[in-house]
Amino acid sequence: MKNCEYQQIDPRALTASTTRTPTPSCGRKSSHRLRRKWEVFPGKNRFYCDGRIMLSRQCGVLPMTICLIFITSGLFFTFDCPFLVEHLTIFIPVIAGVLFVFVVVTLLQTSFTDPGILPRALPDEAADIEKQIDNSGSSTYRPPPRTKEILINDQVVKLKYCFTCKMFRPPRTSHCSLCDNCVERFDHHCPWVGNCVGKRNYRFFYTFIVSLSFLTSFIFGCVITHLTLRSQRVNGIIQAVQETPASIAELVICFFSIWSILGLSGFHTYLVASNLTTNEDIKGSWSSKRGEESGNPYSYNNIFTNCCMVLCGPVPPSLIDRRGFLPSDDAPGTVTSDADLPSFMAKNDPNMEENCQEFALSCTA
């Protein structure tokens, strides 16, 4: 028997395809590298850490969001907290620290989580849909229909055909033009978090804006308290401002951001209580102006139930499998011809059966 070096078999490759068999390399090294799906992802996303982190390509505002949060909080902890701890209570920096950590964690979860992207249809699936268009047997080509109607809670809902993803979008799904993906339960594309907001990360987005509104309001109130107490000590607000100019910068940032953040939190609280999305609310999909029969078919007619379904339900798994491996017919371990077989397994070898048994025993050993 010839001395051959055999490649180590990956158990995950065996589970992925039961037709592949181990092939000895006989001293030859393979230059084949398995590619992950994120490397050929069709959408306009950026991937980091080998596909573990995904962001929108237009994510330039996200660093600005992070900088504003860190700068404002850093100034508050450095210049305001020591004075407030000395004259009021030590719980002020503790509360601010908890809110700050909560804001940063939920922001990163919103930005780095798959919002609910649907994989595009395979060529065979797209062709099957197009074959179902014409029932008359005509051989002339027709484009896919733009809509299809289904019933949800005894109400007609129209499904639109996506010409990019080659499929009928599921209910509440929309195609994001910036990310070039169909997102399930699409709410909106938020440049401040650098990602779409959809079914899988909406709860993180909601907790982010609510906690950010609490943090901004808390810092705003504490800075005003700091300036008031300091002005009483030095007998003048002007001298107090001169002693802590950083507090003025905090007041300006908080004053111009608190109104938009509070308004956004209130608007999304209304959406959560109604089980609506921003996309549906802007388009007026279930507006009462369209008649009594156009009510929201996804609402449970109960605020508490709607909030639980939107915020407390289980997070569905990601469907795009961005870190999975691409199937390859010429991957190592696939026998393509008799030349790839060991010499003792050739068809013209009279002792092939005996040598095969010996080869199997050596592999199990």
Q: Where are the beta strands (DSSP E) in the chain?
A: 45-48, 53-56, 147-152, 155-162, 167-168, 174-176, 181-183, 188-190, 195-197
Quick one: tokens of 19?
Answer: 């037709």
Cα separation of 231 and 238, whole Å?
8
Q: What is the pLDDT of residue 362?
A: 47
Reduced to 3 states (helix: H, G, I; strand: E, B; else coil), residue 329 is coil
End-to-end CA distance of the chain: 17
Using alpha carbons, select from 77, 72, 70 the residue that is nearest to residue 94: 77
CA distance 49 to 55: 12
| Confidence at residue 5, expressed as pLDDT on a 0 to 100 scale | 39
Q: Cα–Cα distance between 122 and 102 in angstroms, integer?
A: 40
The answer to whether residues 163 and 169 touch, using CB atoms and an 8 Å cutoff, is no
Collapsing DSSP states into helix, strand and coil, what is residue 66?
Answer: helix
CA distances from 270 to 126, 303, 304 (A): 38, 9, 12
Q: How far is CA 229 from CA 27, 83, 88, 218, in A?
A: 80, 9, 10, 17
- Cα separation, 312 vs 203, whole angstroms: 8
Largest CA-CA distance found in the chain, in angstroms, rounded:
107
What pLDDT score was predicted for residue 102? 95
Q: What is the Cβ-side half-sphere exposure of residue 249, based on CA atoms within 13 angstroms?
A: 14
CA pseudo-torsion sign 320, 107, 275, 189: negative
Q: Is 218 helix (H, G, I), strand (E, B) or coil?
A: helix
What pLDDT score does 335 carry? 42
Closest CA to 274 of 299, 257, 293: 299
What are 344's two structure tokens? 């003792």
Catalytic hit among 162, 165, 176, 190:
190
Q: How many CB atoms lie within 10 A of CB 8?
A: 7
d(CA 201, CA 212): 16
218 neighbors 203 (Cβ within 8 angstroms) = no
Say whether 190 is catalytic. Answer: yes
In whole angstroms, what is the distance from residue 223 CA to residue 73 CA?
A: 11
- List the one residue out of 335, 68, 92 whose CA is nearest residue 212: 68
> What count of other Cβ atoms lies within 10 Å of the Cβ of residue 202?
26
Low-confidence stretches of the chain (pLDDT < 50) are 1-30, 136, 289, 291, 330-350, 352-353, 356-357, 359-365
Give the DSSP letter of residue 79.
Answer: I
Look at residue 196 in the predicted model and tell me its pLDDT. 92
Angstrom distance (rounded) from CA 111 to CA 176: 16
Whole-number Å distance between alpha carbons of 210 and 265: 6
